[in-house]
């Protein structure tokens, strides 16, 4: 039995839903409403102390960190394989997944505060409510980051820095895709799955500099191939209950 705790629009949850759809595995859905801060509920924090989605429970065993989860899923449901068998390409896959999580995701988070209007969630809250939100953050790192953003926002310099880091990752993808259809060679892999949900976000949030396919044509073609996959469409069509 596999249970997935997830959010509908959460990019990290989508990684897991794509992988499960690739494997054609049945799973039980436990939907968390992030806007209502279900992820900070003490009962959920017992299974994911970071207070984020996704988390899976497989035969009673708990796992979080979406890139770790999708690799675990590829281990326990080997068909179709989503990791290259060639050791060098498999190492490249891990480098991509690390870059996607620690460079791309981290900096998109900064960009989204402004461009996606994340700050608006907190507008209209009084001091007490804001303090309660800060106190409820699952980790000290998240609490300090939110405190800083609420006090100072994101400066133009920080925004430009974050946008440049995101652009660097996209340029690297464009370079890599000159040589092959997918990020790690001839076959679709966990690296493609890990990054794909961000592209849907770039499109839906109308971020033209990140979806300028004339500037990055190979990436544009990769994106069309990726979003045409049935697993991708299934994962993205999940509707909140």
Ligand X SMILES: N[C@@H](CCC(=O)N[C@@H](CS)C(=O)NCC(=O)O)C(=O)O
Task: Take residue 170 and report the two structure tokens written for it.
Answer: 């996209």
Q: Does 10 bind ligand X (CB under 6 A)?
A: yes
The nearer residue to ligand X, 146 or 167, going by C-beta atoms, is 146
- Which segment (48-56, 81-89, 167-175, 226-234) binds ligand X by CB under 6 A? 48-56
The nearer residue to ligand X, 40 or 177, going by C-beta atoms, is 40
Judge contact between 153 and 119, C-beta under 8 A: yes
Largest CA distance in the chain: 55
> Is the sign of the CA dihedral 220, 193, 53, 108 positive or negative?
negative
Judge contact between 16 and 72, C-beta under 8 A: no
Q: Which of residues 87-116 bind ligand X (CB under 6 A)?
A: 101
CB-nearest residue to ligand X: 52
Judge contact between 117 and 111, C-beta under 8 A: no
The pattern of x and - marking residues 52 through 91 that bind ligand X according to CB under 6 A reads xxx---------xxxx------------------------
Residues 6+ apart with CB under 8 A from 208: none
Q: Does 20 bind ligand X (CB under 6 A)?
A: no
**Rounded to the nearest 10 degrees, how much is the dihedral formed by the CA atoms of 157, 159, 161, 167?**
-150
- Which segment (3-11, 70-78, 147-155, 231-239) binds ligand X by CB under 6 A? 3-11
- DSSP label of 216: S
Q: Does 226 bind ligand X (CB under 6 A)?
A: no
The nearer residue to ligand X, 141 or 175, going by C-beta atoms, is 141
- Closest distance of CB 64 from ligand X, Å: 6
Binding region for ligand X (CB under 6 A): 7, 10-12, 34, 39, 52-54, 64-67, 101
């Amino acid at each position: 039995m596999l249970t997935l705790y997830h959010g509908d629009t959460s990019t990290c949850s989508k990684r897991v839903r794509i992988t499960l759809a690739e494997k054609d595995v049945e799973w039980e859905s436990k939907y968390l409403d992030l806007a209502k801060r279900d992820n900070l509920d003490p009962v959920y924090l017992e299974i994911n102390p970071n207070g984020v989605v996704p988390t899976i429970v497989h035969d009673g065993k708990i796992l979080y960190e979406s890139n770790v989860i999708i690799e675990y899923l590829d281990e326990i449901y080997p068909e179709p394989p989503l990791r290259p068998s060639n050791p060098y390409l498999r190492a490249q896959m891990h480098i991509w997944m690390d870059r996607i999580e620690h460079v791309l995701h981290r900096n998109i988070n900064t960009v989204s505060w402004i461009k996606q209007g994340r700050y608006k969630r907190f507008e209209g809250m009084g001091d007490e409510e804001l303090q309660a939100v800060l106190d409820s953050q699952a980790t000290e790192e998240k609490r300090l980051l939110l405190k800083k953003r609420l006090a100072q926002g994101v400066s133009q310099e920080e925004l430009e820095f974050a946008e440049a880091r995101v652009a660097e990752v996209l340029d690297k993808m464009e370079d890599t895709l000159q040589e092959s259809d997918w990020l790690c060679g001839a076959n679709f892999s966990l690296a493609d799955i890990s990054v794909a949900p961000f592209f849907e976000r770039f499109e839906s949030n109308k971020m033209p500099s990140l979806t300028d396919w004339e500037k990055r044509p190979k990436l544009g073609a990769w994106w069309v191939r990726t979003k045409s996959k049935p697993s991708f469409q299934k994962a993205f069509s999940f509707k909140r209950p």
